[in-house]
Amino acid sequence: MPRPTPNSGDLPLGLIYQRHFLTREQRAQLLAWIETLHPLWEMRFSVNNPPPPSDKQRRLLRPVYWLGNWQFACLDYYHPPEGILHRCVKAEPYPKLLAEVVDRIEFVARKRLPKNFFPEKWRLNTCLVNFYGSEFSDEKWVDNARVGEHKDFEPGPVGSLSFGDRAFFQFVEGKATLGKSNEVLSQWLEDSSLQIFGGDRWKKQTFHRVQRVEDKRGELLGPPIEGFRTRRINFTFRYVPEEHILPWGSLPSPQQADTLPYMQELAANSLFFKAAIPHT
């Protein structure tokens, strides 16, 4: 098994890792707030964005929640340079405690990473909350706690906070072939830790993935989600230029039609989303 990455000092340029970034109190307060969220379990595609021939309609492996802007899976996520419009829907702001933590993450990133890693106006104004765990399916619990290799296309460094069981996170390059692995770097992301990655090496030239999440702490996290047990929660903070974040009411009709059921589900528990769909 690859060695866990102990601390930032040993990491290559563009990678930062800080254990115990959150105090116990911050952790407890953030976890208490997370319990008030009502995550969505989205489908990957929709009526107006059907799966390509190589894929099929499927539910995401895990429930999610977004702050700042919501990137619905069926709108295909933020993907510059072409995929920038009608993908990011204005969402709830960060609560005060989280905003303070994000300020610190931005401070660490700006202090430790080269200036040319940051696009103009970079702020971590978007947060994806990932719920990792097991799903009850066909009369048994199935471990879904992983994410396949992908890139985060939002420009600039990404910050990531972890809660709960630790995750085995990898950067990979190209395709693995028989006898040759494509792993570039592996890290264990521990409870209360901060990870930051920026620069072309980690944002553009490599993919990242969560291979697995340990099942050791026995701590159930987050709000109750029917048929799901959460043992790790991860926040990834990213930057989307403000001009690409639109109120839901400004989306074209197909995108509104595809996301209305999600907006209604969110509106059932959120005044913010209720106000965003006033005419329904």
Residue numbers at the binding site for ligand AKG (CB under 6 A): 128, 130, 147, 152, 160, 167, 169, 189, 208, 210, 234, 236
- Residues 110 and 239: beta-carbon distance below 8 Å: no
At 73 the three-state DSSP class reads helix
Of 152 and 165, which has the nearer Cβ to ligand AKG?
152
For residue 33, give both structure tokens: 């707030």
Determine the residue with CB nearest ligand AKG.
234
For residue 119, give both structure tokens: 């696009």
Helix, strand, coil % over all residues of the chain, rounded to 5: 25, 30, 45
Of 222 and 256, which has the nearer Cβ to ligand AKG?
222
Of 5 and 234, which has the nearer Cβ to ligand AKG?
234
Of 236 and 259, which has the nearer Cβ to ligand AKG?
236
- Residues 195 and 202: beta-carbon distance below 8 Å: no
Residue 117 — φ and ψ, nearest 5°? -80, -10
For residue 177, give both structure tokens: 């072939």
- Residues 214 and 165: beta-carbon distance below 8 Å: yes
Of 46 and 130, which has the nearer Cβ to ligand AKG?
130
Which region holds residue 26: left if phi is over 0, alpha if psi is between -120 and 50, else beta? alpha
Of 125 and 256, which has the nearer Cβ to ligand AKG?
125
Min dist CB 80 to ligand AKG, Å, is 16
Min dist CB 131 to ligand AKG, Å, is 10
Which region holds residue 33: left if phi is over 0, alpha if psi is between -120 and 50, else beta? alpha
Min dist CB 233 to ligand AKG, Å, is 9
Min dist CB 189 to ligand AKG, Å, is 5
Min dist CB 213 to ligand AKG, Å, is 8
Min dist CB 158 to ligand AKG, Å, is 8
Residue labelled with tokens 């492996």: 61
